[in-house]
Structure 1
Amino acid sequence: MALRTAGSVLVVFLWSVTVVLGQDGWSVTYTTQSICALKGSTVELTCSYTYPSGHKVTTTFWFTEWGTGVEPKDLGQDPEYAGRLKYHGDKKSDCTLRITDLRLSDSAGFRFRFITSGGKGSGPPVSLTVSDVVLEMDPTSVSEGERVTLRCRTNCTLDPITAFSWYKNGQPIPNSNTSSPVYILFSVSSEDTGRYSCSVEGHEDLPSAEETLNVTYGPRNTSVSVSPSGDIVEGSSVTLTCSSDANPPVDKYTWYKKKVTSPKASGQSYSITNISSEDRGEYYCEAQNGRGSMNSTALMIIVAGKQTSVLTAAVGIIVVVLVLILCLSGLMWFRKKNSTSTSNTRDTADDGQGDSSPVYDNISNMDMTPTAAQTESTYDQDDVHYASVHFSRSKNQEVPLYSTVQLHQPQKQDQDVQYAAVKFNLPSSATQPAAAQAAEVDASEIYSTVNKPRTKKT
């Protein structure tokens, strides 16, 4: 108990009572002839004695057992009292005895005996009753809303008693000190479940033993959990577990599926193996004990498609990536080939092929009719000749295409260069694309290189 303290001492002081043993000055005086003490406490048996003058005291002791013609045994020699018995008297007049750590077995009649040089004397018995503090609970097991009566008592009367203290789970109950030995719990709830005890005021370190209050109630806080957690796919297995707070514990669990009249299973756990789409739906459990029953909230099970293995998924991803790479490579190769083919086509196209796209004509070196002087100096000619180039455009042409213009490489550097204007025939604005109209607004001259007649150097 939390309030128990080591080394505490309960001392019972007794009222003075004179016991006369006979004439001629023999006597033993006790403070009382009846003592009530608590188990675990300390008690003092206070007494004094007298004897005739001229006598010398040789032996003093306390005893509990005696018989006719048999010398009583000294309690100081009894192993049951080893370390617990202390004689505070002397061999003159004081015969006080202290007993510590009282036990229930210490309840007995105690007597003092002394022997002098001239005779023997003994006092009458002093009754010692050792009691523990007892807590009585009625009833010890109740349903919520019922009443419980607690009673604190001892086997003998302690004097004086002013109040009693009450404890739950080793801690004082607030505002529970009362002069009455009865404490009542009205309309108990599950929160009142626990271990109770009581003590006598002034002896809080010596409380009663704890007996337990059991408050029963039906299932509450009933819920369902699923394992494993996460997505539920076809072919997998799950286990549903029902939990509930109840006293006494739940003794029956029943599983149901909404919109299905008959129960699915019984027991705290319910396993569903090889799940299919037919297993999807809302599941709940019913918890029941002797005090009532309660349903859990519904748990929705959603069944997804069959689970694909990690290896299969990885292979599928790799295949998709490879296909994409091949497609991209093929597309790039096709574009490159198409570009090369188009270029070759443009190089060989001419106006007589009926191509819808205008193509510039290949122009070769134009041979002029040479004069005698010109013929004579042909090989020395390094002048460059230019001819006028004419471009024709189809009405349906959107993008002009250009062809290669071949130029004659002169043997020597030309001294003079002549240029000829290049004329473009553009379609009407009605059939001309936007890009071409823009080009018409911002037209520029294009020059083509042609051969000019060579003259002889002087």
Structure 2
Amino acid sequence: MVISCYCWCYDTISLNCLLTEVIVIVVSAVLCVTVIQGQNNWGVTYTDTHICVLEGSTVDIYCTYTYPSRINGRSTTVQTTSWFTKWKVNAPVDLRTDPDYTGRVEYYCPDKVCTLTIRDVRQRDSAVYKFRFITNQPGGRYTGEPGVTLSVTDLQVQVIRSTVHQFYTEAELKCLSSKSPTGRLTFVWFNNGQKINKMETASYKGQFNPGDHISCALKENEDCPSPPVCEFTSLYL
């Protein structure tokens, strides 16, 4: 059975631009399709898309799950719930016991809804996250597929210079990484989610309207733009 609907999932963080005329808002927003997978009333619902977040931020990954209330006259109860990215000795490694996530993960799982919270996300956290639950029924365990792909980036949009006019802002922006680049990097720029053609350098000069959202990405990962977004203001007389 497949049930589809649309939702907005977001995680917002505020940053400061270098200039007072510009406010930077980091937004991780994805239009997601909800899909229930499973048979005989067993299933897990995921946001079936990439989630892109900025390194150092906090991200929430959601799912809901379902199971038969009774099997052969026996009431079903959930005994354990867990999230994982890897297997060890034919069993998934619960993120709460994974040393790579020590002190950074939290589950909140009331009434067949489970939220995974990861704080201070790191680039090595980029992975496919899956939810698994085990019940009291014989063989009553279920792992949701395909999981949620998390992509973590350290790219940020920096304002080099800007001039605020009455109805627009002229600005030079730069896409920066906290790490020293190796080799020649090719960038992709987006204005309000639309790719800006012929802009493949780390810098971008242009005229921006109030409320424009500008983001950047490495070309090899342009399907997941970086969360940093600049919202421009102007002076209205």
Structure 1 length normalisation: TM-score? Answer: 0.29
Instruction: Judge conservation of contact 2:121–2:152 (CA < 8 Å) in 1.
Output: yes
Structure 2 match to 1:45 = 61
Query: Residues of 2 paired with 1:27 and 1:16: CA distance?
Result: 15
Distance change (3 Å), C-alpha of 1:47 and 1:153: farther
Structure 2 match to 1:120 = 141
Instruction: Judge conservation of contact 1:12–1:42 (CA < 8 Å) in 2.
Output: no
Instruction: Judge conservation of contact 1:102–1:130 (CA < 8 Å) in 2.
Output: yes
Instruction: Judge conservation of contact 2:63–2:114 (CA < 8 Å) in 1.
Output: yes
Q: Any idea what the Cα deviations from partners look like across 1:272-301, whole Å, max 9, x if unmatched?
A: xxxxxxxxxxxxxxxxxxxxxxxxxxxxxx
Structure 2 match to 1:30 = 46
Structure 1 match to 2:79 = 58
Which consecutive unaligned segments of at least 5 residues does structure 2 have? 1-14, 18-24, 71-75, 159-171, 178-186, 195-206, 217-227, 232-237
Query: Residues of 2 paired with 1:129 and 1:79: CA distance?
Result: 20
Query: 5 Å matches for 1:35-184?
Result: 35-54=51-70, 55-66=76-87, 70-90=90-110, 92-118=111-137, 119-124=140-145, 125-134=147-156, 151-152=174-175
Query: Residues of 1 paired with 2:31 and 2:61: CA distance?
Result: 7
Query: Residues of 2 paired with 1:103 and 1:89: CA distance?
Result: 24
Which consecutive unaligned segments of at least 5 residues does structure 1 have? 137-148, 163-174, 183-198, 203-458
Instruction: Judge conservation of contact 1:39–1:130 (CA < 8 Å) in 2.
Output: yes
Q: Report the AA paired with residue 60 of structure 1.
A: T
- Greater strand proportion: 2
Q: Report the AA paired with residue 132 of structure 1.
A: D
Which of structures 1 and 2 has the larger relative contact order (alpha carbons within 8 angstroms, sep 6+)? Answer: 2
Query: Residues of 2 paired with 1:64 and 1:153: CA distance?
Result: 29
Report the Cα offset of residue 35 of structure 1.
1.1
Report the Cα offset of residue 88 of structure 1.
1.4
Determine what percentage of the aligned residue pairs are the same residue.
Answer: 39
Query: Residues of 2 paired with 1:114 and 1:53: CA distance?
Result: 14
Aligned length in residues: 156
Q: Report the AA paired with residue 57 of structure 1.
A: V
Query: 5 Å matches for 1:23-422?
Result: 23-54=39-70, 55-66=76-87, 70-90=90-110, 92-118=111-137, 119-124=140-145, 125-134=147-156, 151-152=174-175, 199-201=228-230
Query: Residues of 1 paired with 2:190 and 2:31: CA distance?
Result: 12
Query: Residues of 2 paired with 1:57 and 1:102: CA distance?
Result: 29
Structure 2 length normalisation: TM-score? Answer: 0.54
Query: Residues of 2 paired with 1:35 and 1:112: CA distance?
Result: 16
Query: 5 Å matches for 1:419-430?
Result: none
Distance change (3 Å), C-alpha of 1:122 and 1:40: same
3-state SS in 2 of match to 1:80: helix
Report the Cα offset of residue 151 of structure 1.
4.0
Structure 2 match to 1:188 = none
Bigger Cα Rg: 1
3-state SS in 1 of match to 2:151: strand
Q: Any idea what the Cα deviations from partners look like across 1:299-353, whole Å, max 9, x if unmatched?
A: xxxxxxxxxxxxxxxxxxxxxxxxxxxxxxxxxxxxxxxxxxxxxxxxxxxxxxx
3-state SS in 1 of match to 2:124: helix
3-state SS in 1 of match to 2:103: coil
Give the CA RMSD over aligned residues: 3.9
Report the Cα offset of residue 200 of structure 1.
2.0
Q: Report the AA paired with residue 152 of structure 1.
A: C
Q: Any idea what the Cα deviations from partners look like across 1:89-121, whole Å, max 9, x if unmatched?
A: 13x411221112211111000000000111110
